[in-house]
């Protein structure tokens, strides 16, 4: 079973027993008959190598906190230091840099922790400037705190629901989320291209269409969180290598940033501009 998050999909350590996550990907981390590290499979099919201990949930939590911490700090710096005269080019530079680095990390055989932090910094620039723009449009910087709290509460409730209601991530559910996410991403790309030619569809704006699209995005982010929690749990259970915690942290950061941005847009649209 695979996550719709391409970061976790890249490593089969998060999809034990289900083949390669991407066409051409090495069968890294697949379990043998006795689980990861079992003696019944060649070394390349085993989990954590002898020189490394298996990944734990604490590893994922610590690295996710560090990555989100960089996003937050850089966002605050961008908010307070980027001059208004260059805010637009810096905003798009941060967005494109985060996209490019994110794609590199998503398809990397091994995740480079330093590159994850560079991604977090680029994402921080994008979010810092974007959040300031929305706060100014609404006329209340407090909306940022509300969006952050709403994101944390939503993520916490999603995790609690997944754990305590024993949600089963079935292949059908996974396929539906993957298709929905790919469709959503496709519409975003098409809308961006159309906007470059002056065509406005409204899905990226602050009207009714923007509200609907932001709500769909937030819903898909929640479903992706469920898939990501399941993949991480599988990785821990089956002894994925410790370094894979960085991949898990990056994947969670991608989803949580996506969730925050859509919640912020929803709150802004409901509040209206000043």
What is the SS3 assignment for 32?
strand
Question: What pLDDT digit, counting tens, does each position of 198-217 carry?
Answer: 888 888 888 889 999 999 99
Whole-number Cα distances in Å, 226 to 117, 151, 153, 234:
24, 14, 14, 12
Tell me what pLDDT residue 35 has: 33
- Band (pLDDT 50/70/90 cuts) for residue 18 is very low
The whole-model pTM stands at 0.80
Mean pLDDT rounded to a whole number for the chain: 82
Dihedral sign for Cα 193, 147, 139, 97, please: negative
Please name the residues in contact with 104: beta carbons below 8 A apart, sequence gap of 6 or more: 115
Question: What pLDDT digit, counting tens, does each position of 85-103 carry?
Answer: 899 899 989 988 998 998 8
Question: What pLDDT digit, counting tens, does each position of 236-264 carry?
Answer: 988 889 889 999 999 999 999 999 999 99
* Mean pLDDT, range 58-80, rounded to an integer: 95
> Measured between alpha carbons, how far apart are the two ends of the chain, in Å?
47
Tell me what pLDDT residue 161 has: 92
Tell me what pLDDT residue 37 has: 35
The closest alpha carbon to 78, from 41, 122, 111, 125, belongs to 125
Q: How many residues are listed for the chain in this entry? A: 274
The DSSP H or E segment spanning 180 is helix 171-196
Tell me what pLDDT residue 206 has: 87
Name the percent of the chain lying above pLDDT 90.
Answer: 53
**C-alpha span between 5 and 226 (Å, rounded):** 11
């Amino acid at each position: 079973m695979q996550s719709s998050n391409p970061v976790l999909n890249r490593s089969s350590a998060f999809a034990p027993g289900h083949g390669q996550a991407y066409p051409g990907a090495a069968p890294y981390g697949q379990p043998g008959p006795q689980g990861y590290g079992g003696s019944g499979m060649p070394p390349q099919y085993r989990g954590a190598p002898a020189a490394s201990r298996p990944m734990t949930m604490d590893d994922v939590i610590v690295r996710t906190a560090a990555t989100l911490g960089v996003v937050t700090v850089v966002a605050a710096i961008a908010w307070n230091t980027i001059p208004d005269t260059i805010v637009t080019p810096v905003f798009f530079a941060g967005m494109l840099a985060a996209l490019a680095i994110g794609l590199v990390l998503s398809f990397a055989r091994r995740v480079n922790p330093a590159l994850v932090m560079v991604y977090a910094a680029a994402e921080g620039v994008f979010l810092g400037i974007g959040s300031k723009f929305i706060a100014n449009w609404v006329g209340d910087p407090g909306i940022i705190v509300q969006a952050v709290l709403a994101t944390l509460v939503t993520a916490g409730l999603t995790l609690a629901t997944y754990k305590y209601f024993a949600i089963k991530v079935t292949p059908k559910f996974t396929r539906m989320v993957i298709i929905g996410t790919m469709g959503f991403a496709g519409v975003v790309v098409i809308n961006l291209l159309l906007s470059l030619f002056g065509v406005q569809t409204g899905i990226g704006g602050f009207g009714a269409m923007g509200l609907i699209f932001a709500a769909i995005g937030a819903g898909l982010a929640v479903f992706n969180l469920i898939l990501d929690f399941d993949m991480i749990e599988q990785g821990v259970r089956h002894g994925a290598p410790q370094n894979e915690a960085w991949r898990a942290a990056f994947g969670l950061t991608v989803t949580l940033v996506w969730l925050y941005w859509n919640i912020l847009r929803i709150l802004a649209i409901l509040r209206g501009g000043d």
